[in-house]
Amino acid sequence: MLRRSLLLLMLLPTPLVAQSYYDFREGFLDRKGKVIRMDLVPVDESATTITFDFRLESSTGDSITGRIRFPKGTGPFPAALLAVGIETGREVIAMIEGQDNVILMGVDYPFEGEWNFRGWAAVGTAWRLRQMGFRTVPLLLNCIDWLYERKEVDRNDLALITVSFGAFTGIPAAVIDRRVSRLVVVQSGGDLPLVVAHNSKRWGATMPSWLAGWLGGALLAPFEPLKYIAHLSPRPLLMIVGTGDSFFPPASSERLFNRAGDPKEIIHHDSDHVVPGEKEMIRELTNVVARKMYGSSETRR
């Protein structure tokens, strides 16, 4: 097993790890294309908002789906693009309460295949995550393009909120597109080799944790948050860190926060790491963020 692992390391594109933010930025911008179609299908309506499922198509031939909630009225309204991980996606929109004067857009991550890190299946899963990332960052940039052209959107208040593993595509998109006015990172961090090594046994990896971390870090190097976060400033960063987070060790969130420039703020929340099935925890965290950013709907009226 170790011999096979070392052979695989020799075959990896190791120069990729050393590439800078500027190399990756240009690569993602080259992949972005333009929005050629946006289909909106109404799914819900209240006295103050209307919600749509959407499908956005890019000139590159790729597409992304999700859900968007508009306040009723002409605006302009603050807007938030939510990149909240692989399995939550559009469902997070219904969990955000009391923010009827904010446009909320949640995307579904285009991950295909089985989430399996056992044995050599881990290499295939990491490769699919890499391919998903190369699709998702440009598609998030397409979503920003679309929001920015809407007359209902306040162009001076366009935020990107990312949760958990969504940070690995949400942070690059927010930093690359300077129209994003602020970034919120919830229960996440930087240093991908550390994160992968920390979780390798939980995910069932059979290779040594250090090797899993090295391999995962190499394959996912284009999405390393530490390569991007220093370029966010002078736009503000808000981080929400779970004090009992079992997925992102304290060193991971600390390295991300310390690498960021000012202005920045960190809030420690008494919680373990949120998982897709824990809707009440997702609801609580998203509303902590929403109240911190926007206050309540009543205070803005």
Q: For residue 71, count other CB atoms closer than 10 A to its CB.
A: 19
Say which residue the tokens 């394959």 belong to. Answer: 219
pLDDT for residue 15 is more than 50: no
Whole-angstrom Cα distance, residue 178 to residue 175? 6
Bond before 263 cis per omega within 30 degrees: yes
Over residues 108-149, the pLDDT tens digits come to: 877 666 666 666 676 777 778 888 889 999 999 999 999 999
Mean pLDDT, the chain, integer: 82
pLDDT for residue 58 is more than 90: yes
Over residues 144-177, the pLDDT tens digits come to: 999 999 999 999 999 999 888 889 999 999 999 9
pLDDT for residue 237 is more than 80: yes
Question: Taking the model in full, what pTM does it have?
Answer: 0.86
pLDDT for residue 71 is more than 60: yes
* Domains, the chain: 2-33+65-293 (3.40.50.1820)
Q: For residue 78, count other CB atoms closer than 10 A to its CB.
A: 21
pLDDT for residue 257 is more than 90: yes
The amino acid that residue 71 corresponds to is P
Whole-angstrom Cα distance, residue 98 to residue 90? 17
286 neighbors 95 (Cβ within 8 angstroms): yes
Whole-angstrom Cα distance, residue 193 to residue 206? 16
